[in-house]
Structure 1
Amino acid sequence: MDRAQKAESIETLKGVFAGAGAVVVTHNLGLTVAEMEDLRGRLRKEAGTFKVIKNRLALKALEAADGSDYHGLFKGPVGIAYADDAVTAAKVTADFAKGNERFVVLGGFMGDKVLDAKGVETLSKLPSLDQIRASLLGLLNAPATKIAGVVQAPASQLARVFSAYAAKDAA
């Protein structure tokens, strides 16, 4: 990789780190191609991405000072998982790590906040943005449904009374 390619990779990583809700850093030593494709497919379904990156380029993209918390994450064969939603990458990687002992979640970061492995696990247990939106819509929809039921109730009771009188007269 020449200097121009390195500079381009650093700029790409800067864009990834700035645009992602959260970035999960993992060790992926010993994974087969099929397992990597499985992980990438799971992330793709949730609008996420997984990339194997060079540690030095990632640290330059983060503009991490020597001895910063980022240096503890970027050691060995490292891959990053990221998505626009802060919870998505954490959920998918934590789920994948449970089924594969060769895949280890090291930690991650959200903006300038560095998370350890337990922090990523906690993040993975939070509801995703879509789940929060669905619950809010349900909460907003519930009063309207109740109002419609209350407004409709007198009319249905009146219809039952008329039906009972009609049945009585027919008998």
Structure 2
Amino acid sequence: MPKIEEKQKIVKEIEGKLQDSMLVVFADYRGIKVEEITDLRNKLRMPGVEFKVLKNTMTEFALQNTGNPEVIPHIVGPNVVLFSKEDPVSPTKVIYDFIKQYKKLEVKVAILEGQMLLPDRVKALSELPPREVLLAQVLGTMQAPITSLVFVLNANIGGLVNVLDQIRQQKAG
């Protein structure tokens, strides 16, 4: 296969990953030892997550073609790219835990559902509770008014029952 066709195929593959992913994180991996990057790769083995080193020129073409040209100035130098199709929070937690442990990886920029995020926003994303916890909190918030309504209705019915019982006792006695 000619070299140009090979490169076009790689660009199309990267475009597909960019379009299919909920979250894409670009990070500088300079100074990381092989065993450290292997440790990070192992921790990122979760459903829907890919962790790759990609050539910038191919990535830049893919970013341009998918409507994300604003990201290109942020990905200068060597990059490792994380693609997450399902969960945007868990992979970022893993990345920032790795940064705390080794002090070597540097998040440059991310794309979350088509929106560019700078490193401070990616860090804030990593500090969110897991999806299940957030759903439980929302459900709890939605249930609170219903529970209060049921309690009030039960109290009114209970009061009516007490009044009827007292009337019954008066008529019986």
TM-score when normalising by structure 2: 0.70
Rounded to whole Å, the distance in 2 between the matches of 1:113 and 1:140 is 29
Rounded to whole Å, the distance in 2 between the matches of 1:33 and 1:140 is 48
Opposite residue 120 of structure 2, the aligned amino acid is K
Shift of 1:25: 0.7
Gaps of 5+ in 1: 148-171
DSSP-derived class of the 1:44 partner: coil
Rounded to whole Å, the distance in 2 between the matches of 1:137 and 1:38 is 36
Whether 2:78 is the aligned partner of 1:77: answer yes
Question: Does structure 2 retain, via aligned residues, the 8 Å contact 1:24–1:108?
Answer: yes
Rounded to whole Å, the distance in 1 between the matches of 2:80 and 2:129 is 24
1:111-126 → structure 2 map (5 Å cutoff): 111-126=113-128
Rounded to whole Å, the distance in 1 between the matches of 2:9 and 2:35 is 29
Opposite residue 113 of structure 2, the aligned amino acid is G
Rounded to whole Å, the distance in 1 between the matches of 2:52 and 2:120 is 22
From 100, 106, 109, the equivalent of 1:107 is 109
**Alignment RMSD (CA, Å):** 2.7
Gaps of 5+ in 2: 152-173
Question: Does structure 2 retain, via aligned residues, the 8 Å contact 1:87–1:128?
Answer: yes
**Number of aligned residue pairs:** 144
TM-score when normalising by structure 1: 0.71
Rounded to whole Å, the distance in 1 between the matches of 2:26 and 2:78 is 10
DSSP-derived class of the 1:63 partner: helix
